[in-house]
Amino acid sequence: MHRFLNDPTLAVPVFPGSHIAMDGHYLFLSGLTVTDIQGGDAVLGDIAEETRWVMRRLSRMLEYAGASLAHVVRVDIHLTNLDTIHTMDAAYAEFFENHSYPARTCTESSRLSGGANVEITLMARQPSTSSHCKGEAGHET
């Protein structure tokens, strides 16, 4: 059974989607930019800080759903300027231990929501010990 959740610390999505979708095996987190995070626009233009803000929030979203960054198996990153990839990579790498990095794609997108310079989305294996989300029940289909 699929479950769809919204992180209560983020604004409700303005698009027809959910922050988190769970299928009993995997957690799918929608793409996130700093402009989705209250106060995040303060770091717009600093690719390293934008990356850190987004990764910290994605980590909290995973915890909300009963997982952690250690459960991440795939990441998709969109940059408005692929020339900033090395700076983004350095900040991104801070969030994974022992060089245990998930599979990843990084592309250049000419325009991201809210004028952000990086958008990150991820997929994580749902821990078998976590059968329920820590937050509200969400809606199921």
Give the Cα separation of 75 and 101 in Å (integer): 9
CB count within 10 Å of CB 110 equals 7
Instruction: Please check whether residue 139 lies inside any domain of the structure.
Output: no
Give the Cα separation of 41 and 35 in Å (integer): 5
The reported pLDDT for the residue numbered 15 is 82
Instruction: Please check whether residue 101 lies inside any domain of the structure.
Output: yes
Give the Cα separation of 41 and 26 in Å (integer): 30
Angle at 41 between CA 36 and CA 45, to 5 degrees: 115
Instruction: Please check whether residue 95 lies inside any domain of the structure.
Output: yes
On whether the CB atoms of residues 106 and 31 are closer than 8 A, the answer is no
End-to-end CA distance of the chain: 6
- The CATH number given to whatever domain includes residue 70 is 3.30.1330.40
Instruction: Please check whether residue 140 lies inside any domain of the structure.
Output: no
Sign of CA dihedral 103, 75, 139, 63: positive
* DSSP of 62-77: HHHTT--GGGEEEEEE
Q: Model-level pTM?
A: 0.87
- Look up residue 75 and give its two tokens: 């990441």
The total number of structural domains in the chain stands at: 1
User: What are the per-10-residue average pLDDT scores of the chain (141 residues)?
Assistant: 87 86 94 91 94 97 95 98 98 94 97 95 84 46 37
On whether the CB atoms of residues 67 and 130 are closer than 8 A, the answer is yes
Instruction: Please check whether residue 73 lies inside any domain of the structure.
Output: yes
